[in-house]
Amino acid sequence: MTKVTHEFDLYGKHYSLTSGELAKQATGACVVRQGDSEVLVTAVVSKERKDYDFFPLTVDFIEKMYAVGRIPGGYLKREARPSEKATLTARMIDRPLRPSFPDGFRNEVQVVAMPLVADQVDPVDTICVMAASAALTIGGVPFEGPLACVRVARDTETGELLVNPTYEERDASDLDLELAGTSTFISMLEASGDEVSEEDMLDAMAFGQEAIAAFCAEQEAFFQKWVEANGPIQPKTYELDTPNEEVHDLVFSHYDEMSAALKDADKQSRTTKVAELKDAIRAEFTEDQRREWSRAINVELKSLEKHAMREMVVETGERVDGRTPTEIRPLMIKPDYLPLVHGSGLFQRGQTQVLSVCTLGMLNEWQRLDTIEPVDGKRYIHHYNFPPFCTGETGRMGAPKRREIGHGNLAERALLPVIPSEEEFPYTIRVVSEVMESNGSSSMASTCGSTLALMDAGVPLSAPVSGIAMGLIQENGKTVVLSDIQGLEDFLGDMDFKVTGTERGITAMQMDNKATGLTPEILTQALRQAKEGRHHILEAMLAAIPEPRHGTKETAPSIITLTIPVDKIRDVIGSGGKVIRGIQDDTGATIDIQEDGTVFIAGVGGAGDEAAERIKAIVKVPEVGEEYIGRVVNIQPFGAFVELLPGKDGLLHISRVAKGRVEKVEDVLEIGDEVKVQVLEVDEKGKISLDRLDKPEAPKPAHHDNGKGDGQKRERRPRRKPGDKGETPKADAPQQTSRKLRRHHEG
């Protein structure tokens, strides 16, 4: 096997495809490079066919932290479970690959994508689809390739559309559109936008389709080089599940019965009727036939249900629940559904019901991300849960599956463009959407329910967002676009096209398409119907809660933002964090201090206000003329030290503690006394001199009788002359010591 490399430039970026050097024992392997970012994708197909009635495809995206020169965190210091971004990338690779394999393919296929280098300039996700396509083609695997995936951005200043933008270019874009497919049709789409119009989105999609075709053409050039170096690619032969005519004829003889069983608006009732009919049809086969043809019987029963549903729509214009193609299911909308929580909303459309709950927290509670992308984390978080009881089934409860992560990410992208900035609303925001009942479009119900919860929590959204899922049926040469699809129409239809947005434009989209005839006209019609459906749903939502509540609820923390001098941060924190811990323990508030002096204080009730006042007091510098009621904290012979603010003392000189001469400060004040004082002076070193207001009269000296003694004459002690034996220190020596201390304090 000879190593082959094909280098090319497209849309201002440099790429290369390489095969024949790494992972040569895999069915196929390819390394794709964009800029300095490089990813290896391998594909392995099992030699034996599996006894399944579905296509067993597994796609894994394994983030390697060495690709960005980092050692993984945690005790083990090795890569653990995939990050959310890794899971979303694996889904992005899977979605265009899965429908490209032939019907009846039952050999297990595993595709593994490993980024070898992530240069923090060019993302590695979209090029994985091209690498998987090349690996499968070189491995001789039958599928409808080549495939490619591109990301389209739009420069907000020039309006220019960009293909596979750098991270910096994405940051300057109001559109993030990912498309995958062949040179002739789109099979997967993921998008987020800053309220982008339908017309602009269609233009970007058409531009993206052209770019996909260009990348597919470069793959063809690569394959030609491969053939020249290594000889023709030998297609491998895999046994496919083929229709059994005898089984098909017997099963499809019950076509009318299946059509009748499907006409039921209630999902559980319809499911029961269809299951009973399938059991009855199975019973018409002998025991030996059921054992021999078990897989074929299951495949034909599924095919019967699919064709009966589809023909009902295209031939009669009526859906299984009796709706017209554009009709929206009945709505039930209840904001403020739960007590005590920060915000909640119940949204129900037909038999799909979602309860969304909003929680507000400090900015330091943002989610930190440990991925190979240059993203530290996020402050708006959306989680989506799909428990088994929502479909009337039993199942394991545990970590979210790929589908749950994907649906949660879609709802998060839908609302992110309308979330206020942290300057406007300094909170970390988490919304959890619990699917209580599901019959299709639960991700769109999550978007609507989350809008209700955010508005109920008092989050000042720039605009409310609603969402709807569109479907497509192409049968017997006829095409019908369906609004607000339910589970059966998603499972047996040709397209699942989810669109979210405000009245001004689209904020997010997601599409999985099985139909090769998805024309621009069909997409235009789908977006038009989606806009009408979104408007209908949004009107009902705004009737229940017209605007975000003014202010957060009492149960939510109120966040106060202060700015303190940087040189005062250590005073607020205190030695070993003693001061800030004391404030938090005393008030119950939570305090977060940034390096630039920004202070975020969160507390329920008045806790935040109390903590804020204490911090303001710590950093405040008293000014001349200000009056305080302070507490005496220390007494010296020359005066008393009065605490004006926490950590801020001033000297009340002995001459100012009372009216008249005071012999000892203790004659007037004691430690703990409260006195009303005024700031006289603050020197350049920050030392504060005080004057006492409302001074009391100075106490009379104990040894002075003011001429009104007992009338007895007292003898005077004789004076001693200097040098006399037994000379004692002067009686005023302590006063000299006090003067020294006073001079030391005053300067």
135-145 pLDDT, tens per residue?
A: 999 999 999 98
For residue 743, is pLDDT > 70? no
Q: Among 573, 621, 615, 614, which Cα is nearest to 595's?
A: 573
Q: Does residue 301 lie within any of the structural domains? A: yes
Under 8 Å between Cβ of 251 and 297: yes
252 and 302 part of one domain: yes
Give the DSSP letter of residue 340: S
User: For residue 615, what is the domain's CATH number?
Assistant: 3.30.1370.10
Burial state string for 620-648 with b = 16 or more CB within 10 A and e = fewer than 16? bebeeeeebebebeebeebbbbbbbbbeb
User: For residue 686, what is the domain's CATH number?
Assistant: 2.40.50.140
Q: Does residue 704 lie within any of the structural domains? A: no
309 and 425 part of one domain: no
Under 8 Å between Cβ of 240 and 103: yes
For residue 115, is pLDDT > 60? yes
Burial state string for 598-612 with b = 16 or more CB within 10 A and e = fewer than 16? ebbbbbbeebbebbb
Instruction: Quote the longest CA-to-CA distance of the chain.
Output: 144
Whole-angstrom distance, CA of residue 403 vs CA of residue 468: 18
Whole-angstrom distance, CA of residue 445 vs CA of residue 461: 18
Q: How far is CA 427 from CA 458, 531, 597, 731, in A?
A: 11, 31, 18, 68
For residue 746, is pLDDT > 70? no
Give the DSSP letter of residue 568: G
Q: Which two tokens stand for residue 340?
A: 């005590």
For residue 734, is pLDDT > 50? no
Task: Calculate what percentage of the chain has a pLDDT beyond 70.
Answer: 94
**Over residues 57-78, mean pLDDT:** 90
Q: Does residue 165 lie within any of the structural domains? A: yes
**Over residues 671-693, mean pLDDT:** 90
Q: Write the CB contacts of 420 (distance below 8 Å, at least 6 apart in sequence).
A: 459, 460, 461, 462
**To which H or E segment does residue 134 belong?**
helix 127-138
540 and 658 part of one domain: no
Q: Write the CB contacts of 303 (distance below 8 Å, at least 6 apart in sequence).
A: 248, 251
Whole-angstrom distance, CA of residue 577 vs CA of residue 669: 33
**Over residues 281-299, mean pLDDT:** 90
Q: What's the number of CA atoms in the CB half-sphere (13 Å) around residue 359?
A: 11
Q: Does residue 708 lie within any of the structural domains? A: no
343 and 475 part of one domain: yes
Tell me what pLDDT residue 648 has.
82
613 and 638 part of one domain: no
Whole-angstrom distance, CA of residue 682 vs CA of residue 63: 60
Least confident piece of the model among 77-81, 201-205, 381-385, 583-587: 77-81
Reported for 331-338, long-range contacts at CB under 8 A and 24+ positions apart, including other chains, are 331/537, 331/540, 333/448, 333/452, 333/540, 333/541, 333/543, 333/544, 334/452, 334/544, 335/452, 335/453, 335/455, 335/456, 335/544, 335/545, 336/456, 336/545
Q: Does residue 325 lie within any of the structural domains? A: no
For residue 209, is pLDDT > 90? yes
Q: Does residue 707 lie within any of the structural domains? A: no
Last residue of a domain, one of 288, 316, 344: 316
Q: What's the number of CA atoms in the CB half-sphere (13 Å) around residue 600?
A: 19
Positive or negative torsion for Cα 431, 529, 97, 372:
negative
> Is residue 208 helix, strand or coil?
helix
How far, rounded to the nearest angstrom, does the alpha carbon of residue 171 sit from its chain's CA centroid? Answer: 17
Number of domains in the chain: 5
**Over residues 522-541, mean pLDDT:** 96
pLDDT band for position 17 (50/70/90)?
very high
Tell me what pLDDT residue 619 has.
85
Q: How far is CA 601 from CA 213, 320, 358, 499, 647, in A?
A: 54, 55, 20, 38, 20
Tell me what pLDDT residue 719 has.
53
Under 8 Å between Cβ of 34 and 28: no
Q: Among 214, 85, 193, 128, which Cα is nearest to 510's?
A: 193
342 and 452 part of one domain: yes
Last residue of a domain, one of 204, 230, 256: 230
Instruction: Name residue 653's beta-bridge partners.
Output: 639
> Is residue 334 helix, strand or coil?
strand
Q: Judging by beta carbons within 10 Å of its beta carbon (0-12, 13-18, 19+), is residue 729 exposed, middle or buried?
A: exposed
Whole-angstrom distance, CA of residue 128 vs CA of residue 510: 19
403 and 269 part of one domain: no
Least confident piece of the model among 85-99, 178-192, 362-376, 393-407: 362-376
Where do we find the tokens 């979602």? 354
Q: Which two tokens stand for residue 284?
A: 């018409």
661 and 578 part of one domain: no
How far, rounded to the nearest angstrom, does the alpha carbon of residue 63 sit from its chain's CA centroid? Answer: 19
pLDDT band for position 461 (50/70/90)?
very high
Instruction: Name residue 507's beta-bridge partners.
Output: none
**To which H or E segment does residue 188 belong?**
strand 186-196
When comparing pLDDT for 53 and 313, which is higher? 313
For residue 560, is pLDDT > 60? yes
Tell me what pLDDT residue 81 has.
86
**Over residues 288-302, mean pLDDT:** 90
The amino acid at 442: S
Residue 122 is assigned to a ligand binding site: no
Q: Does residue 239 lie within any of the structural domains? A: no
Tell me what pLDDT residue 702 has.
65
Q: Among 508, 507, 497, which Cα is nearest to 186's?
A: 497
* Cα–Cα–Cα angle for 282, 286, 289, rounded to 5 degrees: 85
Q: Write the CB contacts of 161 (distance below 8 Å, at least 6 apart in sequence).
A: 152, 153, 154, 203, 204, 207
Alpha-carbon dihedral angle through residues 450, 452, 458, 460, given to the nearest 10 degrees = 80
639 and 611 part of one domain: no
The amino acid at 35: G
Q: Write the CB contacts of 455 (distance below 8 Å, at least 6 apart in sequence).
A: 335, 343, 345, 461, 464, 545, 547, 548, 549
Whole-angstrom distance, CA of residue 336 vs CA of residue 245: 57
Strand-by-strand arrangement of the 352-361 sheet = 331-335, 343-349, 352-361, 428-437, 380-385
Q: Which two tokens stand for residue 218?
A: 């470069």
Last residue of a domain, one of 544, 576, 593: 544
Q: Which two tokens stand for residue 448?
A: 């609507």
Tell me what pLDDT residue 145 has.
84
pLDDT band for position 740 (50/70/90)?
very low
pTM reported for the whole predicted model? 0.83
Q: Write the CB contacts of 726 (distance below 8 Å, at least 6 apart in sequence).
A: 720
52 and 182 part of one domain: yes
Under 8 Å between Cβ of 414 and 467: yes
Q: Which two tokens stand for residue 570?
A: 């250590």
Q: What is the domain range of residue 604?
A: 558-619
Q: Among 55, 52, 151, which Cα is nearest to 97's?
A: 55
User: For residue 512, what is the domain's CATH number?
Assistant: 3.30.230.70
pLDDT band for position 30 (50/70/90)?
very high
The helix/strand count (H/E) of the chain reads as 17, 29
Q: How far is CA 84 from CA 48, 368, 372, 398, 443, in A?
A: 33, 12, 12, 16, 17
Q: Among 289, 612, 414, which Cα is nearest to 431's?
A: 414
Q: Does residue 132 lie within any of the structural domains? A: yes
Tell me what pLDDT residue 80 has.
82
Q: Strand runs (DSSP E) across 11-86, as ranges?
A: 13-19, 28-34, 37-49, 57-61
**Over residues 517-532, mean pLDDT:** 91
Whole-angstrom distance, CA of residue 605 vs CA of residue 608: 7
* Cα–Cα–Cα angle for 90, 92, 96, rounded to 5 degrees: 120
For residue 727, is pLDDT > 80? no
353 and 385 part of one domain: yes
**Each residue of 631-671: pLDDT tens digit?**
999 999 999 999 988 778 899 999 999 998 988 999 899 99
pLDDT band for position 186 (50/70/90)?
very high
Residue 94 is assigned to a ligand binding site: no
595 and 686 part of one domain: no
Average per-residue pLDDT for the chain: 90
Whole-angstrom distance, CA of residue 530 vs CA of residue 479: 17
